[in-house]
Chains A and B, each alone.
Chain A
Amino acid sequence: MSEQAIDRRKLQVSDEVAIQITNMNKWYGQFHVLRDVNMTVQRGERIVICGPSGSGKSTLIRCINRLEEHQAGQIIVDGTELTSDLKNIDKVRSEVGMVFQHFNLFPHLTILENCTLAPIWVRKVPKKEAEETAMHYLRKVKIPEQAHKYPGMLSGGQQQRVAIARSLCMKPRIMLFDEPTSALDPEMIKEVLDTMIELAEEGMTMLCVTHEMGFAQAVANRVVFMDQGQIVEQNEPGEFFRNPQSERTKLFLSQILGH
C-alpha cells in the first residue's frame, strides 16, 4: 500500500465526458450480472471500483472495451457508441488501455516486442518509432534493462509494469485496471501502485477495480461500491471511508478494513 500522497489540487477533472454508461444491463445466460448501471466518467477522473467478489465490477469495466457484450442500455466511449459494429469496437479498443489481473503478456515475444506489437500492426507506426516509444514507456515503469528478455524471466510485479507500459504504448486516453495487484506478492504491489500513481498524476482517466484502499484514498477522486450487479454507493474517497451511508457498504468496509 502506498504512503505516497499526491497533490489532488493539481489533478484537474475536466467537464468533457470520457465514458457515458446509461441503463446498461448484462446477463450471463439467465444470470443478471449488471443491473441498470448508470455512470458518467469525466476526462481526468480516477475512479476506484470495489465490491465483494461476484458483484460485477470486473464485468463492468470489461464491458467498456467490449471484452464482454452488454445486452441492454448504452455505452459511449469517447463519443463512440459500442455496438456490434466491429469498426467501432476496434476504434474504442485502440483508445482504451487495459491491464489484467494475470498480466496476459505474450510469452512468445520479448518485452520490447510485447510493447511494439499493437502500435506496429494497429496504429501502423514504423518499427523504429514504435521501439523508441516502447523504450520511453519502459523507462517510465523503470525496467528498460529488461527490454530484450521474455516475460517468463520477469517477476510478477515487473510483468505487471510491462503490461502497463504495453497499454501506454498505444497512447490510450482511458486506462482500465482489472485487479492489477491481486495476483502479486505483497512485496511487489507497491512498485505497481507507484506506477499507477504516477500515471494518475499525469492526468490519465483511470477506472480501477481494486481492493487497495490505500490507493483509493491516495489517488481516487471517486470510489464506486458495487454489489449484486448494481452501483450501491459512490462518493469521494474521504467521505466514502469515513462515513459510508449504506448498510451493505458499512459491512463490506468493516470486513476489508477490520483487521
Chain B
Amino acid sequence: MPKQLTYVRGEMLAPKEPPLREAGVVKWLRENLFSGPLNTILTLLGLLATAWLLLHLVPWLMHSVWNAGSLGECRQIIAATWGEGATGACWAVVRERWPQYIFGFYPQDFALIARLSFADQYAAAGGYEGVFGAAVNGAVREAFIADLRANAGLFDLYVLGYWRPILAFVLMFVAIAPVLFTALPRKMIWFSLLYPALAFWLLWGGTVWLPVVALLGFAVMGAVFTLLKDQLGVPVSAGLGLVAAVLWWLFAQAPVTAGLQSALPFGLASVDSDQFGGFLLSIVIGVTAISASLPMGILLALGRRSDMLLVRTLSVGFIEFIRGVPLITLLFTASLLLQYFLPPGNNFDIILRVIILVTFFAAAYIAEVIRGGLAALPRGQYEAADALGLDYWQAQRLVVMPQALKISIPGIVSSFIGLFKDTTLVAFVGLMDPLKGITAVVRADIDWKGIYWEPYIFAGTLFFIICFGMSRYSMWLERKLKTDHR
C-alpha cells in the first residue's frame, strides 16, 4: 500500500506553552562555568585571581583613614589601630584637597562670604573698601581671610565661596536638558542658546557687556541671513551673515562693550584662565568642545559627500589632516605656535585656544562616524525626500540626519567620551587637569609627598561616573529612538 497522500486538517491547533526548561543554579553553573576541563581550570584560576586581589584590596580599604593632616599622620594612625605593617588607604588627602580637584585654583568669593555670613565683622573691618579695596594692605586682607577660613562653615566656604562655577554648573544641566530630552518644552532651547555667554561671564567674570555684545553678533548674523535668504539662497546668505558677524566681533565688539560698560558699569571680579583647574577645567573644555564638535562634524560629513569639488576637497583635507596628527601636537600648536601667527601683544586666551583645537580634533572623528551613518541610509530615503519636493537642507534636517545620527549614536558618544578623557592631555601645555596637573600639585606638598593611589583613584572615579553617565544616556537614547522594529 502506498502511503496515504491526501490529508485534511480537521481543526487548527491552538498555541501551547513552550516546554519548561530545566532551570536552577546547578545547571547554570555547569553550563557557564564548568562545561569542560579547560573551562573548569579557567574558572578556578579566575576565582584564585579574584581572591588574591580581594585579599589585598579589602584590608587596604577597611583600614581607610579619613581624618589626618598628612600622609605621615595617616600611617601612624593605621599602625596604631591595625598594628605595625598594616596597609591602609589614606583618603584624608581627598578630604583635604577635593576643592582643588574640583575647582583648581579658582578664587573663592570671600567678599560674598563676609557680607552674607560675617556681616558684623565685615562692617567693623570697613566693608568691601576696608578689606578688599585696592588701597588695603595685603597683610590686612590675608589676616581677614584667614580668620574667615577658620570660622566659616562648609556651606559658606564651598557653596558661597565657589558660587560662580557652581551656578554655572547647575545652569548647565538646565541648558542641556532640552537638548537631551525632547519631552521638555521647546522654548527652553532659548536658554540653552544663551547659556554659553552666561557661563562665560559667570566663570571668567569681567564686564557683563562683553558676552552681551558678543551675542549681538549672532543677532547680526541672523538678521543678515533672514533678510537675504529669499534673494540669495541659504548657503550664500549664511556665508554673508557669518562675514557680518565676524566684522561685528572684530570692529564693533570692543568699542560697543567699552561704551556700554562706561554708561552702565556692571560686572563680576575677573578670573584668569591660569586659575582654572581640576574638573572645572575638564568640564569647561569637554562640554564646549562636545557641543561645538557635533554641528561641525555634521557639516564636515555633509561636505565630504558634497558634489561641490571645493567643499569636498576642503572637508577631506581638514578631516584627514586633523585625524593624522596626535592631539598633543595640536595642543602644542595651541599653546606655542598660534602665538607666533597672531599679532604681537595679542593675548588670545589659552583655554579658548585649547577648546578650539580639541573641537577640531573631535569634529574630524565625529565627521567620519556620521559619514558611516549617512552611508548606511538606503538610497530610497534620499529619493523619497527629493520626490516630495524637499530641498537639500530640508531633506538633510528632516529625513537624513535624524536617521544617520541615530545610527551613529554609539560612535558619536564614544568620541565624546574619548574627548572628555582627552581633556587631561592639557596637562602638557601647563594647564591644571584633574589627573596629572592637580595630583602633581598635591603630591608636591610636603604633607602628602609619597601618596600615590588615592588621588588617582579619586580622579579616576569621577571620570568614570561622568563617562558611564554618558554611555547610559546613549543607550537610553538608542532605545527611545528605536522605531524601525527590524
Contact = CB atoms under 8 A, between A and B. Distances in A.
Interface string B451-486: 000000000000000000000000000000101111
Interface in A134-191: 150, 152-153, 166-167, 170
B386 A93 contact: yes
B394 A121 contact: yes
Interface core residue of B378, B381, B388, B391 (most chain A CB under 10 Å): B388
Most A C-beta atoms less than 10 A away, residue of B384, B391, B399: B384
Contact of A121 (B378, B390, B403, B484): B390
B402 interface: yes
Contacts, number: 72
B407 to A, nearest CB: 10
Given A108-B406, A121-B394, A122-B394, A153 B485 contact: yes
Contacts of A117: 388, 390, 398-399
Contact of B388 (A150, A153, A170): A170
B390 A100 contact: no
Interface residues of B, number: 23
B19 interface: no
Contacts of B485: 150, 152-153
Interface string A94-109: 1011101010111110
B389 A90 contact: yes
Contact of A100 (B380, B402, B403, B486): B380
Interface in B209-261: none
A72 interface: no
A104 B381 contact: yes
B387 interface: yes
Nearest to B380: A104
A202 to B, nearest CB: 21
B252 to A, nearest CB: 35
Contacts of A217: none
A67 B390 CA distance: 13
Given A118-B389, A122-B389, A170-B388, A104 B383 contact: yes
A107 B399 CA distance: 9
Given A98-B387, A118-B389, A118-B390, A108 B380 contact: no
B388 A118 contact: yes
Q: Interface centre among A90, A105, A107, A152, by most B CB within 10 Å?
A: A107
A118 B383 CA distance: 13
Contacts of B399: 106, 117
A107 B384 contact: no
Contacts of B385: 106
Given A107-B484, A108-B481, A122 B384 contact: no
22 contacts: A65-B387, A67-B383, A67-B386, A94-B388, A98-B384, A98-B387, A100-B380, A100-B384, A102-B378, A102-B380, A104-B383, A106-B384, A106-B403, A107-B403, A108-B402, A108-B481, A117-B398, A118-B389, A118-B390, A121-B394, A152-B483, A153-B485
3 closest residue pairs by CB, A with B: A152-B485, A94-B389, A104-B384
Interface of A: 65-67, 86, 90, 93-94, 96-98, 100, 102, 104-108, 117-118, 121-122, 150, 152-153, 166-167, 170
Given A93-B387, A106-B384, A150-B484, 20 more contacts: A66-B386, A90-B389, A93-B386, A94-B389, A100-B383, A100-B384, A104-B378, A106-B381, A106-B385, A107-B483, A107-B484, A108-B402, A108-B406, A108-B484, A117-B390, A118-B389, A152-B483, A166-B388, A167-B387, A170-B388
